[in-house]
A and B are shown apart, each in its own frame.
Chain A
Amino acid sequence: MKVSMFHLMPHRELPQDFEKRYDSVWVTPPWAELADPVRVGQYYNWTLDELEFGAQMGFDGICVNEHHQNAYGFMPSPNIMASALARNTKDTAIVVMGSTLPTNPPQRIAEEYAMLDGISGGRLVAGMPLGSSCDVNWCYGITPIEQRERFREAHDLIIEAWTRKDVFAFNGKYNQLRYVNTWPKPIQQPHPPIWVPGTGSKSTVDWVAERDYCYCFLSYFGSKFAKKNVDKYWERLDELGKDANPYRLGFLQLVLVAETDAKAEEQYFEHVKYFYEKSLHTPLHFFMAPGHIDHSSLVKATRAGGYGIPADLAAQRKDWKFQDYIDNRFIVAGSPESVKQQLEDVIKDLNCGNLMALMHLGSMPHELTKKNIQIFGEEVLPKIRNIWDDQGWENHWWPQGAKRAEETITA
């Protein structure tokens, strides 16, 4: 089992009435009214400190991602964050989830990822996101119907740029390069492990399954909501005659741990509410620019009653108590023993080998976040780490240089 710590780098102090006053946390929240650059500098440093603290507390990897014009997470360049983290950690995987393929020049991604792999000594996980409609279509102006095609072409170019030994021409539809000759190339051979984030779209699931990459189901609605889509991934792999190695799957889970169940509620409930009510305050149309999903996925999603976001769950959760968030598996929370049990359920239910734990939610202060990380590292991590050991799977999707010695883990 590999457990990484995820961070979104959110705005921690949105106004009390944010969701009533503003249409969206993403794409259109006005910076001038909502943020201060000096304070935001502090957020970035807290975020880096928290991730580094996670590495010290025993997380196998630390994860950053890319979003734009988004008050729930604004690391427009995850590679800048990752480079600072690579310098200040020694044996932890640097999981970049990742540089968005349709909006960054692919040759630039190949270069920067290779730099990160070099600086970290081969500890990079190369995330390859298609990108959300919000980021890619609405913020960066990419034509929705082109997004998947751009993603696939960028992927092909990056892989060739890393693995080919010659200087070559790339004559793509969106990228025409007369001389591809990437300097530097990554340490890891043939290239760093590739993890692809998704929220269940069939075309992404199939694409990942066919290529033997690690599919990472990233949603904030927990394993109950994810189950159906994750099962489709395993079914697809089975159809292709591929094994059910749990390390083929990454899963994002919100995790909040305290000394006791009661203390967890007391300390974290306001932040859970902030997260779901403010951080996730985005109208549906921003997730679904016309053409963002291809026609066959559109048909499937429409027949299934909607795409991605469980609208009925959103409506139900208005009056939820802390325990409802746990019972519906949106969050994993409570005492170390409760958290351990809930996580075991999630991990086994989904057959997940690469867990990504979101340890900081929206408004959580720095010290409380560190406490969450510390209790988790000391009292939960050692107990879930060996979940898959008896099955003898090999994690082909773990970076070759991230060799945290087994003895330091168990010690």
Chain B
Amino acid sequence: MNKSNVSKTVLKTMNGRVESHVHQAGSGPPVVFLHGAGGPTWDPFLDDLAEHFTVYAPSLPGTEGDPDAVREIRGLWELMLHYYELFDQLGLNSPAVIGHSFGGMLAAELASTNPERVSKLVLISSIGLWRDEQPVEDWMRLTPDKLIPLCFYEPEGKVATEIFKMPEDKIERQDEEIRRSWSLACSAAFIWPIPEKGLTRRIHRVKAPGFIVWGKQDGLVPPIYANDFKNLLPNSEVLIVDKAAHVPQLERQDLVSPAVIKFLNQ
């Protein structure tokens, strides 16, 4: 159940080859939200943002609509071009960009590749960096029973249950399984087999002020990566929230929403 009145636009980028679905709600200054590897969702955190901003939530090509749209994008470089074209079509010159997990890596890449196109950068539990001694967990091989305790401070709490809830109807349940599996396939196209593709070599180019948000109990991307991002982004601040794992914007929506809104309004 969404509070916001969310509309959807289908756009085509890359000379018409790539179909892209953009969800939009709210009014005010533009904010782009890039979802994680699990695929697009509209959640209460975005509702909070939509009370202050115009929120654009594009789906990674392939994860919604034409499943093969992802095949029309060769590598991260073309994925960046796709998003800039999307910004152009939406009339966004230099929006604030928020990315969660896989989307965080994309947000950081967008701000690094063309620093003029991202005015503020919010990274929530972002991938994109790598430590041999504390690797990012390999979520692609984890079944829900192993994945959920790493992603949620309260594995049986309301937030976790809501996200991993499966429809009762057989066909709808299969649709959901297909959607999840294919969303992982589409994100894997850019990060397999290790989610580190050279961001550290480019991130010095970022001009946007940064806000780095992490759950203290993140079992997927350990919080030490928040410090690593802080060190790479001198003009940034860090918020570590207790009693939250990989999805702090939902598990600690009470803290994260106001903090992000405050940062974006600064």
| Residues of A participating in the B interface, judged by any CB pair closer than 8 Å | 137-138, 141-146, 149, 173, 285-286, 288-291, 295, 298-299, 302-303
**How many cross-chain pairs have Cβ atoms below 8 Å apart between A and B?**
58
Complex: A298 Cα to B185 Cα, angstroms: 11
Q: How far is the CB of A290 from chain B (nearest CB, A)?
A: 4
Contacts of B70 in A (CB 8 A): 145
Residues of B within 8 A of A299 (CB): 178
Q: Are A285 and B182 in contact (CB under 8 A)?
A: no
Do A137 and B193 form a contact, CB below 8 Å, given A286-B141, A291-B184, A291-B185? yes
Q: A138-B193, A145-B70 are in contact. Are A289 and B140 (CB under 8 A)?
A: yes
Query: Please, which residues of chain A bring their CB within 8 A of the CB of B185?
Result: 144-145, 290-291, 298
* Contact in complex: B192, A141 (CB < 8 Å): yes
How large, as a class, is the contact surface on chain B? 20 to 34
B67 interfacial by beta-carbon distance below 8 Å: yes
Q: Are A145 and B188 interface neighbours, CB within 8 A? A: yes
14 contacts between A and B (CB under 8 A): A137-B193, A138-B193, A141-B192, A142-B192, A143-B189, A144-B188, A149-B71, A289-B140, A291-B182, A291-B185, A295-B68, A298-B182, A298-B185, A302-B178
- Contacts A290-B140, A291-B189; is A145 near B71 (CB within 8 Å)? yes
If over half of A's interface residues share one DSSP class (helix, strand or loop), that class is named, otherwise mixed; here it is helix
Check if B2 is an interface residue, CB within 8 A of chain A: no
A285 and B141 form a contact (CB under 8 A): yes
Q: Which B residue's beta carbon lies closest to that of A27?
A: B141
Complex contacts, A286 vs chain B, CB 8 Å:
141
Whether a CB of chain A sits under 8 angstroms from the CB of B181 is yes
Chain A neighbourhood of B142, CB < 8 A? 285
A290–B174 CB distance below 8 A: no
User: Is the CB of B231 closer than 8 A to any CB of chain A?
Assistant: no
B82 to chain A, nearest CB (A): 16
- Kindly state whether residue B143 has any CB partner on chain A within 8 Å: yes
Choose one: A289, A295, A298, A303; the contact of B188 (CB below 8 Å). Answer: A289
User: In whole Å, how far is A247's beta carbon from the nearest beta carbon of chain B?
Assistant: 35
* Residues of chain B with a CB closer than 8 A to A291's CB: 182, 184-186, 188-189
Nearest-Cβ distance from residue A284 to partner chain B, whole angstroms: 8
CA distance A395 to B257 in the complex (A): 69
Interface string of B53-90 (1 = CB under 8 A from A): 00000000000000110110010000000000000000
